[in-house]
Structure 1
Amino acid sequence: MDNSTWVTNHTGQLDFILVGFFRQSKHAALLCAVILVVFLMALSGNSILILLIHSNAHLHTPMYFFISQLSLMDVMYISVTVPKMLMDQVMGMNEISAPECGMQMFLYLTLGGSEFFLLAAMAYDRYVAICHPLHYYILMNHRVCRFLATGCWFLGSVDGFMLTSITMTFPFCRTREIHHFFCEVPAVMKLSCSDTSVYETLMYLCCVLMILIPVTVISSSYFFILLTIFRMNSAEGRKKAFTTCSSHMTVVILFYGAAVYTYMLPSSYHTPEKDMVVSVFYTVLTPVLNPLIYSLRNKDVTGALRKMLNGESVFQKNVK
C-alpha cells in the first residue's frame, strides 16, 4: 500500500477516540462524581442568576444585562464538553465522529471567543458607570447594550467558523486518539499528517488579536476607573467601585490566563496532561465560579435571591 492510499484510508475514518480525563486517574469514579456535582452547580448557579436578573426590576440595568449574557455563555460552554465526557466514562465509550468533533470545536470556540469580547464590553460598561455616571443611561442605553452583546456573539462565531473549518479539512493519518476529553484545536492538530506550521502561526496571530483587542479595552477602562476611584471623596463610593471592579477582574484573570496558556505559549510548555488540567479549569471551574463571584459579593443579587427564597415575588414589571 503506497503512502497516498494510507493517508486516504486514515482520513476516511470518521471516528476519533477521546483519550479522556479519567484514564490517568486512579479514582476515576470519584473524579467523575465530583465533575458531575460541579457541572450541576454551574448549571443551577448560572440559571438562577439569569432568572433573577430577568425577573427582578431592580436588576434591569446594563451591568446585569451583561452578567446574564455571561451566565448564558457559561451554561452553553460547560454543556458543550462535560456531558459528553461524563457519558463516555459511564458508558465506557470514548468515540466521537468527525462531524460531532467539528460541531463541538465550533461551539466551544464561538462561546470562548464571545466571552473574550463580552468581558471587554463589561469593562467598558463599568468605565462609563464610574467615570461618566450622569450620562450612564444615555451612553449605555438598551440599544447600545444589545448592539455590544450581538457584536460579541458575532465575533465569537467568526472565530469559531474560521478555525473549525480550517482545522477539520486537514488530513488525519496518524493515530486516531485525541489526547484530550474534547476536540480542542491544538489536540486535534497533532493528529494531522500534513505540515501545519503556517496554520499554527496564523492561529497564533488570530488568538493574539482575539486577546489583545479585549485586553486593550479592559486595561484602558480600568486605568481610567482607578484614576476616578482615587479622586472620589466618598469612602463608601470607593469601596463599592472596588468591589464591582475586583469581581470583574477576577473573572478576566481566570479566563484569559487559561487561554494564554492554551493558545499562546510554545509547544515546549505543553504536555497532554497539563493541557487537560488547564482545560478542565476554564471549561468546568470558570463557569461555576462566575455566578459565585458576581452574586455572593453583590448586595442586589443576594437581596433578590433572599426575596425569592422567602417566597416573595420577584416577577415585577420594570417601572423604568
Structure 2
Amino acid sequence: MHQRKLGPFTVSAIGLGCMNLSHAYGTPPPAEQGEKVLRAALDAGVTLFDTAALYGFGSNEKLVGPVLKSRRGEITLCSKGGMAGVTGDDGAMKRVIDGRPEAIVRNCEDSLRRLQTDVIDLYYLHRWDKKVPIEDSVGAMSRLVEQGKVRTIGLSEVSAPTIRKAHRVHPLTAVQTEYSLWTRNPEIAVIDACRELGIAFVAFSPVARGFLCDAVPDVATLDAKDIRKSMPRFAPEHHARNLKLLPPYRALAREAGCTPAQLALAWLLHKGGDILPIPGTTSVEHLREDLAAADVKLDAGLVARLEDLVNERTVSGNRYGEQANREVDTETFPA
C-alpha cells in the first residue's frame, strides 16, 4: 500500500470512510458484513479509518471499535464530534449540531467508550456550529489534546477564513471536505489555505456518492432513507443531465486502463501528495477495486480531458439542498 503523511502520522494513501457501514445510504448491511469489510481493509494494508459520533447515532463507532482494537497500534483512527444524535421529546433520535465546549467534551468521551480506545488519533469538529465562535470549539478540542484523549485535531466542511481562525488557536492536522471531480469547491480557497498552513486535506465522497462508480443509473431505485434523495444532483431532472457525462467518462477510464471508480480516485491522488481520499463501501470486492486505484497512472493530457469533462460547470445541480447548504461553511462557485 502506498503511504502518505497525515500530520504526524504515516497512513495508507487511500483510507476507509466507514459511514456507509451504518448510515446514510439506505438500510445498512448486517454487522457481520461491516466487520468483514473492516477486516479486509486491515488485511489489505489500510491504516486510515474514519468514523463519527453521528454515523448511525453511535452504532458505527460501536462497529468499528471492536474490530480495529486488536490492530490499534497499526492504524490511525479518526472520529468527529460537534454533531451527534440526541433523543427528542418524542423519544426519537435526531441530529443536532452543537459546538459548545461541553458538548464537544461529551461527544469525545462517548466516542472513546464506543471505540474501546484510550485516545483518538485525529478528532474533527464535524460541523462548525455557527452559534459558537470557532475559537471556542477548537479551544475545547485543544484541551482534549492536553488531556491525552485526542492526539491531533481537524475540521470538516469549513471555509479558508475559518481554517485560519482555528489554526491560530491550535494547529490543525487535517481538514475534511467533500472533493471529487464533480465537487470542486475546495479548489476555490481551502486547498490553498491548507497547503499554506501545512494541513493535510482529506477528501470524503471521492467517487461522487457513487455516481462516478457508474453505480446510480436510476435514482428511483434509491432507498427511501438514502441521503441522496435530498441532494439536488440526484433529483430526476439533474440526474438525467448528469448521466450524459458517463459515456465519455467510461471511455476515459478504459483509456487509463482502470474502472470508473479507480479513475475518480486516481485523479484525486494525482492532485497532490497532501490529499487523502477516504472512499466508503459495503463490499469487499469494491474495497479492493478502490485500493487498486493507488497504482493507476494518469498522464497530463488525460487529466486535462477528464477535468474538462466533469467539473462545476458541466455537472447539473447543487451538491446539497437548502438546509445542508446553510449548515456548512464551505465556499461555493457563483450560480
| TM-score (normalizing by structure 1) | 0.25
Which structure: greater helix fraction?
1
Higher strand share: 2
Structure of larger gyration radius: 1
